[in-house]
Structure 1
Amino acid sequence: MKTAEFSTMLRVYIEDTDAGGIVYYVNYLKFMERARTEFMRSLGFGKDYIFNLDLMFVVTQVAIRYHRPAQLDDMLEVGVKVTELRGATMIMAQEVHREGLLLAAADVTVACVDRAGITPRRLPTEMLESLRLAQGNGNAGEPHTWNHN
C-alpha cells in the first residue's frame, strides 16, 4: 500500500459478509481496528503496555467512504497512517485495498483516556515520540493530504 505507513493483511471470512457474500459495511471498521492495534503493537505499544499505564483508546469520530465491495475469501491489505497528533488524540488515515484497488478509506480520530474514569489523558511521551516518528513528516498537528478517490 503506497500511502500507508503501516499495513497488515487479512482474509474475509463468512462471518464478515452478508447473505450475498459481500462484506457488511461495519466490518471495514473492525478491519481498521485490527490494523491500528497491529500498528501500535509494531511500535512497542501492545495491550500490556497500554493496560499497565491504565490507558485505553476510544474512537471519537470516523469519516469513511466506501469505494468498492470486498467479498468472501478476498485477501485485504489494511493500512494506517498517522496524520495528526494532539495531546490526547490522534487522527489516523486508513485504507482498505484488494490487490491494489481501493475499497474503503477513512479518517479515524482516537482519544487516549484513563481506564478508570474514561477521561481524556495525554499520550505518554514515549508513545507520542514514536507516533511522531511514524508520522514521518515531523509536522504533528497538520492535516493529511490523501486523495481518497
Structure 2
Amino acid sequence: MNRFTYDIRVYWEDTDAGGIVFYANYLKFMERARTEWLRAMGVQQQLLRDETGGMFVVTDTQVRYQRPARLDDLLCVSAELKHMGQASVTLSQRVVLAADPTYKLAEGTIRIGWVEAATLRPVRMPAALLGTLERHRAPSTEEPHRRT
C-alpha cells in the first residue's frame, strides 16, 4: 500500500458563501485521509497514545490549490509516505474528483512529527511504528524501478 486513497463527499458545511469548498477544509480532508491511512495499516492513534505516551502533530504544510470543488462532489484524497526520519514523516497528498482523477483540486506536502503527548517535545517514534511505516513507504525517486 504505497498510495492510500479515501473518498470524501462535499457537504454544505464544507462550502463557503460562493458555493465552493472553503480552502482550509482541504486540510481537514487531508487529515481524514492520513488518519484512515494509519488505520488501514493497523495504527490506531488513541491506542498508540495510551500505550506509548506519544502522538503525531502537524509541523509543516504546503498546499497548492488548483481548482474548486463544489457541493455534492465526491473527492478522492490520497496519502503517500515520501520521507521518514526517526521523529517525523513527510507525506504527499492530493485531492482530485473521484469521477475524474486527472481533475486535480489541491495537492500538498504535510510533515507530521512524533511528540511526547505530555510535553509536546519531539521524541523518537516507537520501533514498531517505525517498522510499520517503513513497510508502507513509497519507493524513492532515486530507485531505478519505481512502482506507480
TM-score relative to the length of structure 1:
0.87
Give the alignment partner of residue 45 of structure 2, picking from 47, 69, 72: 47
CA–CA separation in structure 1 for the residues paired with 2:130 and 2:24: 29
Superposed CA deviations along residues 110-139 of structure 1, whole A, max 9, x for unmatched, are: 0000010001111111111111111142x5
Q: Any conservation in 1 of the 2:67–2:106 contact (CA below 8 Å)? A: yes
Ranges in structure 2 where 5+ consecutive residues have no aligned partner: 144-148
Cross-structure match for 1:26: 24
Identity over the aligned pairs, expressed in percent? Answer: 41
For residue 64 of structure 1, report the CA deviation from its aligned partner.
0.7
Q: CA RMSD in A?
A: 1.7
Ranges in structure 1 where 5+ consecutive residues have no aligned partner: 143-149
Cross-structure match for 2:132: 130
Q: What amino acid is aligned across from residue 11 of structure 2 in structure 1?
A: Y
Cross-structure match for 2:61: 62
For residue 48 of structure 1, report the CA deviation from its aligned partner.
3.2
TM-score relative to the length of structure 2:
0.87
Cross-structure match for 2:78: 79
CA–CA separation in structure 2 for the residues paired with 1:126 and 1:19: 46
Runs of 4+ aligned structure 1 residues displaced above 4 Å come to none
CA–CA separation in structure 2 for the residues paired with 1:75 and 1:58: 27
Q: Any conservation in 1 of the 2:78–2:94 contact (CA below 8 Å)? A: yes
For residue 29 of structure 1, report the CA deviation from its aligned partner.
0.2
Report how many aligned residue pairs link the two structures. Answer: 137
